[in-house]
Amino acid sequence: MADVVLEARGVGYSYGARAVLSEVSFAVRRGEIFGLLGPNGAGKSTLFGILSGLLSPRTGALLAGGQPVDPRSRAYRARLGVVFQQPSLDLKLSGRENLQLGASLYGVPRGLARERIERALALTELGERARDKVEKYSGGMRRRLELARVLLHEPELLIMDEPTQGLDLASARRLWRHLGELRAERALTILLTTHDPIEAESADRLLILDQGRVVAEGSPAELTARADLGGDIITVEGDDPAALASALSAGLGVSAKVTEPETPNAAPVVTFTAPRGHELVPRVVELFPAGRLRAVQVRPPSLGDAFLRLTGRTLAGDSAGVAA
């Protein structure tokens, strides 16, 4: 059994009578990137609050190194680096001052802190802007600075809440590359929450949360396989999707459904699954007169599809489900 850094056993939490987490159990192994995947409202933020030491679980326990720990205890928090969804930097201070502040809040001795700060500034390529106030930094720079700050006390476990939320694609990729380097360099264990199935693909293992409960756990590949999605996903776009769906079902012997799109304001589309989907595409096109279809797309199943299959909901919204 791999070395477990942090384990949750039957963790539950409720606000008054409303249970937001129940019986959540998982184990994070040393050196892995562990993702908590779920839509907004799945209980990720509450779980993050417990893991970061801001809340105590109402039921169940956290274990570190096999021993039960109180997440609000000093010893637990000292081993943790926490990156919140919204940067917790002091915008009126410079980049370097923010790093100094972070180091001294965790009691890093001054000389050691100075050394690590210079190294962190070089690593994050923020050296030239170290004297500027953080309010002048871009979103990507702030993330990098924040990450550098929470690593100054060399935590065992880095936990991040939606780390790429609000970042442009280039900054998000850069952040992931940086996380990969950190993990390789110092066997850092990383736990992060996300609602983005594409981002979740980068994790080693995932815990899928829905409505405060664990739906599934495993590597992205295992989860997609376990959801038993029946092959490739074929998406067909065109007017009157209900008519399209019945024509496709009748003509190809598949079970085509009208599905709400993942992006808001887009029109509903028709989807169905089939093994070796690319072979079906010519037949789909031949079923309809020219101009009837706007687009036909084939892709392998993703984590988003697995989530939909496992929970009946999309990751995009709390209630956006499968339409009739």
Partner 1 sequence: MSASTSTSTRDTPAPRDIPRPGAVRLTTAAITTLVARDLLRFVRQPSRIVGALSQPLLLWLVIGSGYGGTMRSAGEAGYLGYFFPGVVAMVVLFTAIFSTMSVIEDRHAGFLQAVLVAPAPRLALVLGKTLGGTLIALFQGGLFLLLSPWAGFPLGSVHWPAALATLALLSLGLTALGFALAWAIDSTQGYHAVMSVLLMPLWIVSGAMFPAAKGGGWLATVMTWNPVAYGVAGLRRALAGGDLAPGLGVPGATAARELIVCAGFAVGCIALAALASSAPSRRGRPARTSGAKP
Alpha carbon distance 135, 90 (integer Å)? 8
Based on the shown chain and the rule CB under 8 A, indicate whether residue 80 belongs to the binding site for partner 1.
yes
Based on the shown chain and the rule CB under 8 A, indicate whether residue 9 belongs to the binding site for partner 1.
yes
Figure out which of the listed residues 66, 253, 275, 291 binds partner 1, where binding follows CB under 8 A.
66
Question: Residue 90 has what DSSP assignment?
Answer: -
Closer CB to partner 1, residue 54 or residue 182?
A: 54
Based on the shown chain and the rule CB under 8 A, indicate whether residue 105 belongs to the binding site for partner 1.
yes
Pair 79, 28: CB distance under 8 Å: no
Nearest to 192 by CA among 223, 224, 158: 158
Based on the shown chain and the rule CB under 8 A, indicate whether residue 5 belongs to the binding site for partner 1.
yes
Burial (0-12, 13-18, 19+ Cβ within 10 Å), 81: buried
Closer CB to partner 1, residue 89 or residue 303?
A: 89
Question: CA 157 → CA 29, 32, 84, 133, distances in Å?
Answer: 10, 10, 14, 29
Based on the shown chain and the rule CB under 8 A, indicate whether residue 28 belongs to the binding site for partner 1.
no
Based on the shown chain and the rule CB under 8 A, indicate whether residue 246 belongs to the binding site for partner 1.
no
Alpha carbon distance 239, 190 (integer Å)? 45
Alpha carbon distance 44, 192 (integer Å)? 10
Figure out which of the listed residues 44, 96, 116, 142 binds partner 1, where binding follows CB under 8 A.
142
Alpha carbon distance 108, 172 (integer Å)? 29
**Smallest separation (angstroms) from partner 1 to the CB of 12:** 10
CA-angle at 174, arms to 216 and 190, nearest 5°: 40
Figure out which of the listed residues 31, 127, 166, 218 binds partner 1, where binding follows CB under 8 A.
166
Based on the shown chain and the rule CB under 8 A, indicate whether residue 190 belongs to the binding site for partner 1.
no
Based on the shown chain and the rule CB under 8 A, indicate whether residue 106 belongs to the binding site for partner 1.
yes
**Smallest separation (angstroms) from partner 1 to the CB of 116:** 13
Question: Residue 67 has what DSSP assignment?
Answer: E
* The one segment of 134-142, 175-183, 199-207, 303-311 that binds partner 1 by CB under 8 A: 134-142
Site for partner 1, rule CB under 8 A: 1, 3-5, 7, 9-10, 45, 49, 52-61, 63-68, 70, 74-75, 77-80, 82, 84-93, 97, 101-102, 104-108, 135, 137-139, 142, 149, 154, 156, 166
